[in-house]
Chain A
């Protein structure tokens, strides 16, 4: 430990610690307070640095990298504005439980507090938007803090962490300790294994159910491939229907026979009705978010609820549950599968036949239906065609935020986890393009498509330049309706159709924009040409911006209007202009 080989500068320690924690790629942007680290990056080949065009892009790219690989994403930014620009992706990662290590430069320790150039209180600003953060004032602490940062970011409920490193600490010489030698902070020891007694009680409750439903979320994705396998196994064993949140899509395949589709505000009728009418609900790795539950006092009124979550604060936060099990989804599902198999008397699958016939009736309602058109491209149709053309390939979908995001979730079928990346909790417009870059860096041969809206894509459009620099052939598929569609939809529902500032009058020519960056621009406004053009887009081995002109005024249905319960969904065939205008009463208007 004391040999001279362990003596190195802070900047060297950073690179060594990243390497020892298995990092191969980092996303970042240089600046004065991180130059010593950038100098080290220049002098090594083990870690590739991806230069973005804005620190927000670095964060979302690292999120995309993390969420498509299950590894920790790493971003590197400078002090002051570099750090403040990182705040949005940090909060995004916090809400969607994405493991992220963000290294920020800081002014020298002697200048901290003096309002120095590019100084900000980074740990103060990022305290509420990280799982934990550190300001490292002693170079000898640096290696330990970085190792601990990786542990905190990826264990328990994953999340973002920040390591703020003053410039003098980067220059100072100190001792490096490898990950195997460092001492963990004792106070942080997340509980992985669930309480067996509670799991047994849960299994018995499940065995007594006649109208059960699994409600799963991003926690299953985070618990790794084993959790997905076990989830599919328990569904196979029990023959229970399953729905998922936006974040959990893909853990159970969309083609699976027990699949109800996504639930929530824009989820399927069958999923929401099943949630409302069930007698036993098994929630795995989801958090009863307000977009999921609808009106809380009407949420699934007659069910016993089981909640499995690695974060104890998620249990009983929004909805009281009958059995709360703290533990990792993979570990608890493993116990659950074993205990279910060991049941002395398993319920006959025929006992669920009434429930399945109810579900068949709801399914027949065809809640994602839309009116097809020969003249204009319906946005739903565009997603369906994109889905058909991407089948059989290793396809990753990212999205921005808005109507296009919900249509993608509704109409794109996900067969496996880690292939769907969207900003669920924070709802960050501008997420999709940089996230797609992160995915493509991790999976160079995959088909990576950012399903975007014309408004969202402009929030991080500068990252096109990154795509060109690194030859990342991401496909940006813009459902262009010239509106902030979801904002407009809510204005129609809530504000007397007064479309205040939701129409973009000066839209760029996306084809020329693509060409200006050195990418390929494509345009389509004709449903008959759509298939050929999508096929062409997929074949191009360069970044593409596809300007897909869709029906301008299409709205996203079905929808649970605010203040309503799951069984009061507004269905597409009922959504006349009048019904839309009256969907939310005066009381609901206050609530929305």
Chain B
């Protein structure tokens, strides 16, 4: 089904892929045991799936559960296959396609947020301009000297992209982003 990845001179029948790729966010609940992240990532690289963003941390310490949030893209058939393949991994408890769930709930997409740390270096009037912009984006100053600021910014990825684009000419020196944390709206749990 990875027809878009046509290798030349492959030893197999290959159909042309016509379906359009979509971007989906998956939540994967796993046992927090050694190697579990390698199993998930290895599945994606081994089967030629895309990872656009990956976030992982333990979420339930007592139960030794971690939640992995993956943003991936593929045709609907590939996305269905990704979910099925993830569910085959022994320490995987549940896989929810948050994008599909959001649509079922009549929403466009799940809630997706990202945290960025942004270091801006500069002097003089640039500093005032940077601070003004940061304020407009609700970015917090968490470290500063006369020569730099470090901002903490939370929001949708598009908002962070936008902030970075604007501060780039004003002395953007370093960026660190967490990747996406996501969940569906409403009272229902995963």
- Give the docked Cα–Cα distance between A320 and B77 (Å): 9
- A187's partner among B77, B81, B91 (CB-CB below 8 A) is B91
Q: List the A side residues contacting B35 at CB < 8 Å.
A: 123, 127, 135
- Give the docked Cα–Cα distance between A296 and B10 (Å): 15
B13, A312: Cβ atoms under 8 Å?
A: no
- Give the docked Cα–Cα distance between A146 and B1 (Å): 35
Closest to B47 in A: A128
- CB contact under 8 A between A135 and B39, given known A290-B13, A294-B13, A311-B88: no
Q: List the B side residues contacting A135 at CB < 8 Å.
A: 34-35
Closest to A565 in B: B13
Chain B 1-21: CB-based contact to A (< 8 A → 1; otherwise 0):
100000011111111000000
A591, B92: Cβ atoms under 8 Å?
A: no
> Is residue A132 contacting chain B, with contact meaning CB distance below 8 A?
yes
A312, B87: Cβ atoms under 8 Å?
A: yes
**Closest CB-CB distance, A291 to chain B, in whole Å?**
9
- Give the docked Cα–Cα distance between A102 and B1 (Å): 31
Which of the listed residues B13, B14, B15 has the most CB atoms from chain A within 10 Å of its own CB?
Answer: B13
- Give the docked Cα–Cα distance between A589 and B44 (Å): 29
A128, B90: Cβ atoms under 8 Å?
A: no
B11, A187: Cβ atoms under 8 Å?
A: no
Chain B 31-70: CB-based contact to A (< 8 A → 1; otherwise 0):
1001100110010001000000000000000000000000
> Is residue A497 contacting chain B, with contact meaning CB distance below 8 A?
no
**Closest CB-CB distance, B3 to chain A, in whole Å?**
9
> Is residue A316 contacting chain B, with contact meaning CB distance below 8 A?
yes
**Closest CB-CB distance, A131 to chain B, in whole Å?**
7
B31, A127: Cβ atoms under 8 Å?
A: no
> Is residue A232 contacting chain B, with contact meaning CB distance below 8 A?
no
B80, A316: Cβ atoms under 8 Å?
A: yes
- Give the docked Cα–Cα distance between A591 and B11 (Å): 6
Closest to B43 in A: A128
- Give the docked Cα–Cα distance between A185 and B36 (Å): 14
Q: List the A side residues contacting B46 at CB < 8 Å.
A: 128
- Give the docked Cα–Cα distance between A320 and B78 (Å): 12
A591, B14: Cβ atoms under 8 Å?
A: yes
- Give the docked Cα–Cα distance between A127 and B44 (Å): 13
Closest to B82 in A: A313
Closest to A295 in B: B13
Q: List the A side residues contacting B178 at CB < 8 Å.
A: none
A591, B87: Cβ atoms under 8 Å?
A: no
B81-106 residues with Cβ-Cβ distance < 8 A to A are 81, 84-85, 87-93
- B11's partner among A131, A295, A296, A592 (CB-CB below 8 A) is A592
B111-168 residues with Cβ-Cβ distance < 8 A to A are none
**Closest CB-CB distance, B15 to chain A, in whole Å?**
5
> Is residue A227 contacting chain B, with contact meaning CB distance below 8 A?
no
A312, B84: Cβ atoms under 8 Å?
A: yes
A313, B85: Cβ atoms under 8 Å?
A: yes
B90, A185: Cβ atoms under 8 Å?
A: yes
Binding site for B on A (CB under 8 A): 123-124, 127-128, 131-132, 135, 152, 185-188, 290, 293-297, 311-313, 315-318, 320, 562-563, 590-592
Closest 8 CB pairs of A and B: A313-B84, A132-B90, A187-B93, A296-B15, A188-B90, A290-B12, A297-B15, A312-B84
Ordered by A's residue number, 18 sampled pairs between the chains whose C-beta atoms are within 8 Å are A123-B35, A132-B90, A135-B35, A152-B90, A185-B31, A293-B13, A295-B13, A312-B84, A312-B88, A313-B81, A313-B84, A317-B1, A317-B81, A318-B1, A590-B8, A590-B9, A591-B10, A592-B11
